[in-house]
Amino acid sequence: MVKNRWLPLIFTSVVFGLLHGANPEVAKLGQLSMVFYIGTGLFYGIVTLMDEGTELALGLHAVNNITAAFFITTDWTVFQTDALYIDISEPSLTWEMFLPVFVLYPILLFLFSEKYGWKNWKEKLTGKIIEPVN
């Protein structure tokens, strides 16, 4: 519809974040926590475009959610599970919330690019979409 890759990447990242905006964590931590959700959506979107498929991004999302549900829970988060640990501290937005977006995700993108041989970043993330000729 838009004939480029960057607009759908940004749009889906923001939608991913907004869908998670209904989570109780956002109500407790404030709107600044949306940086995490939108940044995570951007990370998954970049992985999808660079890998030319959704499998890796879907797997990463599943692993994230399963790990979160298995290891830690609180009485104010979206996951209420029988986790190994229960966090009873007061909710607070700290620098750790931004660590994945600004440190972990770039490192993972570098590692994935090495492992999977991702090339042509500019074209895959911002290039034009050309309709196939039938």
Structure-block tokens of residue 44: 């998954």
Q: What is the pLDDT of residue 51?
A: 97
Asked whether the beta carbons of 48 and 54 are under 8 A apart, the reply is yes
Q: Band of the pLDDT at 132, cuts 50, 70, 90? A: confident
| Claim: this prediction has a pTM higher than 0.85 | yes
Kindly state the tokens that stand for 113. Answer: 């690019």
Residue 73 near residue 86, CB atoms below 8 Å: yes
d(CA 49, CA 39): 15
Q: What is the pLDDT of residue 131?
A: 83
CB 41 within 8 A of CB 17: yes
Domain boundaries, the chain: 6-88+118-124
Give pLDDT, residue 38: 97
Res 62 pLDDT > 80: yes
Q: For 68-121, what is each residue's pLDDT tens digit?
A: 899 999 999 888 899 999 999 999 999 999 999 999 999 999 999 999 999 999
Nearest CA-CA partner of 110 in 52, 47, 56: 47
